[in-house]
Amino acid sequence: MIEDKNQKKTALSDLGEFGLIEHLTAQFECSHPSTLKGVGDDAAVLDNLNKVTVVTTDLLIENVHFDLAYMPLKHLGYKAVVVNLSDVYAMNATPTQITVSIAVSNRFPLESLEELYAGIHLACRQYKVDMVGGDTTSSEKGLIISVTAIGEADKDEVVYRSGAKTTDLVVVSGDLGGAYLGLQILEREKQVFLVNPNNQPDLEPYAYLVQRQLKPEARQDIKLLLKQLDVKPTAMIDISDGLSSEIKHICKQSGLGAVLYENKIPIDPLVLTTSEEFQMHPLTAALNGGEDYELLFTIPVKDHDKIKGNPNLTVIGYMSDQHEQAFLHSKADELIPLTAQGWNAFG
């Protein structure tokens, strides 16, 4: 974490826990009618009327999920929110509120946390969600962030991983592999910097890939797009741990198999050229990289014409009756079993 040594630093002990919470959350305002009470009481109060509520939580730990050597705190705050909202969108629901809890060591002054919360605030504005609570405490080592996202949907709109049917088409939004290549670039430049701190990296040629890693976006547009196209997914998941892992989750929960076509998987041209630099097959990044936060879903084959040609969506395969077995149909016309080699928190 690069700091300006001349910048004034405010010790967190000067504010105390409740003073810190009040200071960091002063800029957050509530806009959802379902938020009856946000920050400032013992608990938030929500009223979702006749809708169902979806809840998801994610934990980010310094030096496990992020490295402050190249992750700006403002970007970290933004990303911590986005990765949770992505899970809400993967349920075909709309996020409405979040809570944010942090554990922080005394190496972080108030000004650093202000940067973190500026990113959280930006994400709340961008995705129109209310920040309604959380907690702060001390940490002996580094920074820990826990975000809980709350969303709502009509009961008949919610999509689970378990709803896929045989012959359903497998569809993905956006393109894959960029976030993983962005991470490889940042790690490479970090090693160069450690050897020569005067060497400033030129990341401009890799701007798209670095942004996919440091400032990802959740696909809030897909729910509305599918509704406009009159298409309801039968199963859905977000791609946080890699395409291979996610399709196997759908297979397991739905009790089906899947076949994905190598030549159909959407890969950005910059992923292709950067993979060559790292002597890596671009398919490795797309299948196993993770953190793309695109949506992977299945639709009835009868809806193919409704999405055909849409630049946001790509049909990459189909669901089969082979119980929980997922395969890649290679360009060489071979069926290769897919294994879950994406992110493993305990690996």
CATH number assigned to the domain comprising residue 16: 3.30.1330.10
Name the domain boundary from 131, 157, 183: 157
User: Do 123 and 177 reside in the same domain of the chain?
Assistant: no
Residue 329 sits in the same domain as residue 230: yes
> Mind listing the pLDDT tens digit for each residue in 6-30?
667 887 677 665 566 677 677 777 7
Centroid of chain to Cα 255: 26
Alpha carbon separation from 199 to 73, 133, 183, 214, 237 (Å, rounded): 22, 42, 19, 21, 41
Residue 316 lies in a domain: yes
Which percentage of the chain shows pLDDT scores above 70? Answer: 90
Are residue 215 and residue 322 in the same domain, yes or no?
yes
* Model pLDDT for residues 237-249, shown as the tens digit of each residue: 999 999 999 999 9
Is-contact 109 9, C-beta < 8 A? Answer: yes
In a domain, 318, yes or no: yes
Cα–Cα distance measured from residue 250 to residue 160, given in angstroms and rounded to the nearest whole number:
9
- Residue 118 included in any domain: yes
Query: Of the residues 157, 188, 214, which one is the last residue of a structural domain?
Result: 157
Q: Does residue 175 sit in the same domain as residue 110?
A: no
Mean pLDDT by 10 residues, the chain (347 residues): 62 67 73 68 61 87 94 98 95 94 93 96 97 90 93 89 96 98 96 87 94 97 96 96 94 95 98 96 94 98 96 97 91 92 53
Q: Residue 9: what pLDDT?
A: 81
For residues 310 and 171, give the distance between their C-alpha atoms in angstroms, rounded to a whole number.
11
Cβ distance 221 to 85 under 8 Å? no
Residues 312 and 175 both lie in one domain: yes
Q: Are residues 181 and 250 in the same domain?
A: yes
For residue 266, what is the domain's CATH number? 3.90.650.10
Q: Are residues 318 and 170 in the same domain?
A: yes
Quick one: 223 and 278 in the same domain?
A: yes
Asked if the structure places residue 2 within a domain, the reply is no
E-assigned strands of the chain? 35-37, 45-46, 52-61, 94-104, 130-138, 143-153, 169-173, 235-238, 257-261, 295-299, 313-320, 326-329, 335-337
Pick the closest to residue 35 from 122, 130, 107, 110 (CA basis).
130
Examine the domain organization and report whether 181 and 319 are in the same domain: yes
> Which of 232, 88, 222 has the alpha carbon at shortest distance from 156?
232
- The verdict on residue 5 lying in a domain is no
What the block records as the tokens of 308 is 């055909």
What domain range is 68 assigned to?
Answer: 12-157
Q: Of the residues 157, 174, 189, which one is the last residue of a structural domain?
A: 157
Contact 201, 193 (CB under 8 A): yes
Contact 285, 176 (CB under 8 A): yes
Number of structural domains in the chain: 2
Pair (152, 191) in one structural domain: no
122 lies in the same domain as 186: no
Query: In the β-sheet with 169-173, what is the strand arrangement from edge to edge?
Result: 235-238, 295-299, 169-173, 313-320, 257-261, 326-329, 335-337
Global pTM?
0.88
State whether 176 and 81 are in the same domain.
no
